[in-house]
Chains A and B, each alone.
Chain A
Amino acid sequence: MMKKHRIIPYIYLLPAIFFFLVFKYWPMVFGFFLSLSKWNFISSIQWVGIDNYIHMFSRSLFINAVSNTGKYTAILLPSYIIIPLLLALMILQVRNKTLASLYKPVIFLPTILSFAITCMVWMWVFNPSFGALNTVLSYFGIKPIYWLSDSKIALWSIILVSGWKTFGYNMILFIAGLSTISDELLEASIIDGANAWQTFWKIKWPMLGPTTFFILITSIIYATDKAFIPINVLTRGGPHDATTNLAHAIYVFGFEMFNSGIANAVSMFTFFIFLILTYVLMKIIGERIYYEV
């Protein structure tokens, strides 16, 4: 039996508790306070109540950021699941050992590289005059596409880069999920006469519940937060706010317009939406997930 300890465990916890309090929880409280005040980072702070929350709705940057974040989520959510899952299923079927051990690390490679730096490399790939994409298209007689400066296309370019970065990681998660399914279960279903299609929907897909759920949550985080990197590197939110998302809007409000009030109001709004979405997902999907104990 463990013996009860009085002080020692708390001493071990102290550094962690300190950093969580100072850099995670206190900033939240302080951010909420700032969202209720007017400040340009220099003058004295002025209390304005919920003004910022009302004013932000008349800012086109905020409105565009919300609608783009919605678009990113709507497009990324299904593609972050379907494509990596197909890749995982395909790779697990490869019989040739050398090839099988080649695909995984190659497709996973973008995960371990600096996203900011690889986005800058992508900027070259997207270059209208010398970039690889337009060069390949020109072989087919297609005119140059302005991947980053055409407001109808820029959002799709951001999504393309996002997929490039994330598919490999999600694929690894699916491979890990699929390999926890016991062979006996799969053999039993084959003996029962199930075809590959049935085996997938009746056994594999339900067993992948926790993985899928995790990917859904991280995709939402990606759309609101992490997409900041390709957006800031490739388009700076432009052209005409066509690619901006919530994280980028907060950055612009805070560090380019020096409007702490609106920036923090948008932060709080983002946090609130994120919590609601997570809660809804947990209610809809979480309860139906099959957890292996």
Chain B
Amino acid sequence: MKYKKYIFAVFRNLMLLLIGFIVVFPILIMISNSFKLPDDIFVKRINLIPAKVTVSNYVRAWVDYDVPTWFWNSIGTAVGITILQLIICILASYSVVFFEFKGRNIIFSFFVASMLVPFQVTMIPNYILVSKMGILNTWTAVILPNLANAFGIFILRQHFKSFPYSLYEAAIIEGCNSLEILWSIVIPICKAFIVALLILFFIDAWNLYFWPLLVMRTPESKTLSIGLQQFIDYELGHRWGNFMATATLACLPTMIIYIIMQKQIIATYAKSGLKG
């Protein structure tokens, strides 16, 4: 009986180790290829350790291509989206949870119902709107349509609901106005959750692909996800070495955040599914 249990445990762990290896394998390939010379990349062999380590792929990509510009555009759009989304979502969910007013539930449903509208239904009208505004190929074009974030309002509302209401009342009696209460009581107390949400927003914004693909058409306006495609285009000739180097750089910000805050990030993602 005990023997059988032991075999099961070994089998289970071997299985999970294998699956884990398969999952990280493409990432390992990416990192290892980024440090390889071309004749080391184009071989029919699984070699995760470069024969000779070189940084020339990084240097060439950074110097010969628009990689710094793409990087800058990714940072600008992602930071813009993250901060504005957070401000808008906090204000809206603060209002919905802490105030009582006419139409409160209707307005909340108005936000949540938009989760049922798939992205591709709004993309062409939004593209037309953005181009009529004359902001194609600018950061604003990427940022604006992403500011309607129903998920953020929803999950913040869930969290604010568990806020100790007596604290809020005490502050009112003290004579604080609602903005002071939000800034100096609600936000500091919910800091951990807000930081976790901020990271979630940033990861999503950093990884955007479909919308920037539509509105960032000029070479100088591309973000990393869009620009990288030019390295692997058939017509332009593959540049796998440069691609792997830039892709590694592009994955670095989210990977570093993930390594540092892995537990909180996974917990926040887990909460995102418990909408019920």
Binding site for B on A (CB under 8 A): 2-6, 8-10, 12-13, 15-17, 19-20, 22-28, 30-31, 34, 41, 87, 90-91, 93-96, 99, 102-118, 120-125, 129-130, 132, 134-136, 138, 164, 168-169, 172-173, 175-177, 210-211, 214-215, 221, 224-225, 228-229, 232-233, 246-247, 250-251, 254-255, 260, 263-264, 267-268, 270-271, 274-275, 278, 291
Residues of A close to B226: CB separation below 8 A = 116
Q: Report the minimum CB–CB distance from A83 to chain B (whole Å).
A: 9
Q: A105-B266, A271-B121 are in contact. Are A138 and B44 (CB under 8 A)?
A: yes
The residues of B that contact A34 with a CB separation of less than 8 Å are: 124-125
Q: Is the CB of B120 within 8 A of A90?
A: no
Assess A250 versus B124: contact at CB under 8 Å? Given A20-B148, A271-B117.
yes
Q: How many residues of B contact A (CB 8 A)?
A: 92
Interface string of B15-29 (1 = CB under 8 A from A): 110011001111101
B14 CB to closest chain A CB, in angstroms? Answer: 11
Known: A16-B153, A28-B117. A263 touches B124 (CB 8 A): yes
Task: For chain B, residues 223 to 253, give those with C-beta under 8 angstroms from any C-beta of chain A.
Answer: 224-226, 228-229, 232, 240, 243-244, 247, 250-251
Chain A residues with CB below 8 A from B203, complex form: 112
Which chain B positions have C-beta within 8 A of A107? Answer: 19-20, 23
Q: For residue B153, which residue of chain A has the nearest CB?
A: A16
| Interface positions of B (Cβ within 8 A of A) | 9, 12-13, 15-16, 19-20, 23-27, 29-30, 33, 41-46, 87-89, 91-92, 94-96, 98-101, 104, 107, 110-111, 114, 116-129, 144-145, 147-148, 150, 153, 178, 203, 206-207, 209-210, 213-214, 224-226, 228-229, 232, 240, 243-244, 247, 250-251, 254-255, 257-258, 262, 265-266, 269-271, 273-276
CB closest chain-A residue, reference B217: A255
* Inter-chain contacts of B30 with A (CB < 8 A): 121
- Asked if B269 and A16 sit within 8 Å, CB to CB, the answer is no
Quick check: A27 and B95 within 8 Å, CB to CB? Answer: no
How many residue-residue contacts, CB under 8 A, span A and B? 268
Residues on B with beta carbons closer than 8 Å to the beta carbon of A233: 229
**18 cross-chain CB contacts under 8 A:** A2-B99, A8-B95, A9-B101, A16-B153, A19-B88, A22-B148, A23-B129, A24-B114, A93-B12, A115-B207, A116-B228, A117-B247, A124-B244, A164-B23, A221-B118, A225-B118, A275-B116, A278-B116
Asked if A99 and B19 make an inter-chain contact with CB atoms under 8 angstroms apart, the answer reads no
* Chain A minimum-CB-distance residue to B122: A27
Please, which residues of chain B bring their CB within 8 A of the CB of A125? 25-26, 29
Most buried by B among A27, A112, A129, A172: A112
Q: How far is the CB of A6 from chain B (nearest CB, A)?
A: 8
| Chain B residue at minimal CB-CB distance from A272 | B121
Do A13 and B91 form a contact, CB below 8 Å, given A117-B225, A138-B44, A172-B269? yes
